[in-house]
A and B are shown apart, each in its own frame.
Chain A
Amino acid sequence: MEYLKLKKLRLLVIAVGIAAIGAACSSSVFASHSFELGVAAGSLPQNTHIRLDGLTLPPGGVLPLYDSSPNFVAGHFLLRAPCDEDHVPTITVIAGHIDEHMHDTFMDKVPLYYINHASTAGSCVFHAHLPDPLNGGAPRVTDVDLINLSGQDVEFNAGDVVDINVQRVLGSIASAGYEEMQLPGELTHGNPVFDLNDDDPDNDGLGFIED
């Protein structure tokens, strides 16, 4: 009887140990960028999940995804969408602030990370960090949109999706507005795309922490 109790206790200790090691490892896996802070203790992230399958965006078409005005936020962005042979999405991801006043509007292309090991034929998977202080894009993000600047229809495939996970409010655009105007229509097709897994170390972007 005592032997059985001891055996159960040992199994419990081993299970707790494995769980503790797993938790410690997972933090280094997810925190691959130095500027990503995640959610503050005691808070839950806010998630927006939008299926794109079956949608067709005409040239110049815009699909608004997220608007947190007046707060600018920090978070993580996921896109699965059609891409070209250089892994540039045929749709353009833009973020920044769209104001009711045109002159207070500033939108820019979001730097994307191509995730080869999660991409399948016809569609590519991308991650991005909102904002990305090291690699460019709009520094204060209240709005995230998809815009078709390719000049042709963009048809999304089955399984294409956008997922935006907002983890922190960084401030109010009312007290930190943009001084420069940049409208969505002034941008050109093609997001900057980084790739951590190919053989080119020059397209890794900044802020990546080697495990």
Chain B
Amino acid sequence: MVGQRKKIIVFGSVFAALGFMLLSGAGLQQAFAHASTTGTVDDGPADGNLIRVVLGHSSEPTYGALPGIHDGKHNLEVRLTDAETSMPLTGASLKADKFYFESLSKFKAAKGPNGADELETGIPVEAVFGDAGHYVHRQVQKDGIYGYRLYGTISYFGEGSAEIDKTVFCMTESGGTSKFNKGSWSGGFG
């Protein structure tokens, strides 16, 4: 009787652990979602169709480079898809302006994104070979707050194009980093 109870406890614990692992996995996926926005095809036969732009950092959550601990390699990555079908969009010509603030207090004190501690403009965001619709700018990050102005032309299967010019900043646990965002974004990236 006691042996049977032990077995039940052991099996119960294993199932509970498995359930907890599954739930944790689902939670992680949600936490690491990127920011997304939409654009509209404004010329050609596909005029009016919607495109989806997803922007974030690779391997989120991000950590600033710390020798021997973190390599800080968190690329700016963009995924472009047709909003209705989710089919990837290739052939986009994208650039980014990168804003870096050393701290949240400096970000809050700034009057505009150009008041960033570091500013890089006209960075090419290039297509990843063999991964249609995926575009990256490779970088090594420092601790701080990063934001990007993404701009350029997105081809819609060769039957139209959409212009994009939107800005979004990464989120922090303390929040309050959206004041320089331009265009409507949902979700966020860390």
Question: Do A and B associate with each other?
Answer: yes
Q: Which residues of A contact B (CB under 8 A)?
A: 34-35, 37, 40-41, 72, 74, 131, 133-134, 139-140, 170-171, 176, 206-207, 209
Per DSSP, chain B at the interface is: loop
Q: In chain A, what residue has the closest Cβ to B49?
A: A133
> Of B62-70, B81-89, B115-123, B140-148, which stretch is located at the interface?
B81-89
Does B131 reach chain A (CB closer than 8 Å)? yes
Does B130 reach chain A (CB closer than 8 Å)? yes
Judge whether B87 and A131 touch: CB under 8 Å: yes
Interface size in chain B (residues, C-beta < 8 A): 16
Judge whether B132 and A37 touch: CB under 8 Å: yes
Judge whether B45 and A133 touch: CB under 8 Å: no
Task: Fill in one digit per residue for B77-111: 1 if any A CB lies within 8 Å of its CB, else 0.
Answer: 00000101111101000000000000000000000
Q: List 11 A-B contacts (CB under 8 A).
A: A34-B157, A35-B87, A37-B87, A40-B131, A40-B132, A72-B86, A74-B87, A134-B157, A139-B82, A139-B84, A140-B85
Does B158 reach chain A (CB closer than 8 Å)? yes
Judge whether A176 and B159 touch: CB under 8 Å: no
Interface residues of B in 30-70 (CB under 8 A from A): 45-46, 49
Cβ of A131: which chain B residues have Cβ within 8 Å of it?
A: 85, 87
Cβ of A40: which chain B residues have Cβ within 8 Å of it?
A: 130-132
Max chain B Cβ within 10 angstroms of own Cβ: one of A35, A40, A74, A206: A35
Question: How far, in angstroms, from A207 to B85 measured CA to CA in the complex?
Answer: 15
